[in-house]
Amino acid sequence: MRQISLNTIDNTYFYSAWKLYEEAFPIYERRTLKAQTKLFGNHSYKFDLFVQDDVFIGFILWWNFKDFQYIDHFAVSKLLRNKGYGAKILQEFIKSNSKPTLLEIELPDSPLNKRRIKFYERLGFKLNLHNYKVPSSIDNRKIDLLVMSYPEVISKEKLNQFVVNNHPTIFNS
């Protein structure tokens, strides 16, 4: 599997990734294409694609902050799910980075959401039960989520520090 780091939308695989992005995430959790294009100018933001034998597998969109890596969006092509690609991508991501990793997850209020949590737990992520909200990308509401962290749980204070230091960059971009 080959990793391709993008810094522009002018890539053969970008539109496959963008289509998956729009299918995999609800509209209130997504950026517009215009906002995504502007993000490529931010040195902390990374848009990594994964390809094998010229077949698009998936992506991981993430931020490299001072104290944490933050996985913003992660998805594997529908046709390739449950074949180990997601685990392999995340294992390589974790191995190639030395900072603690954070990601957001939906509340465990459905069988699918519970399965996602278990998937991340199998990879060593820990579920933090701290109250956590993010702004919607389409209106003024706040979305209740949970944070998972690797390799250890994080304190409420550390999570609050992450929010204060990094949410303005993540959610105003």
pLDDT of residue 134 exceeding 90, the answer is yes
Residue 115 to residue 111: CA distance in whole angstroms: 6
Residue 32 to residue 38: CA distance in whole angstroms: 10
**Residue % of the chain over a pLDDT of 70:** 99
For residue 63, the model assigns a pLDDT of 97
pLDDT of residue 173 exceeding 90, the answer is no
Rounded mean pLDDT, 71-81: 96
For residue 172, the model assigns a pLDDT of 82
Rounded mean pLDDT, 105-126: 97
For residue 97, the model assigns a pLDDT of 85
Pair of tokens at residue 28:
């209130």
Burial of 54 (0-12, 13-18, 19+ CB in 10 A): exposed
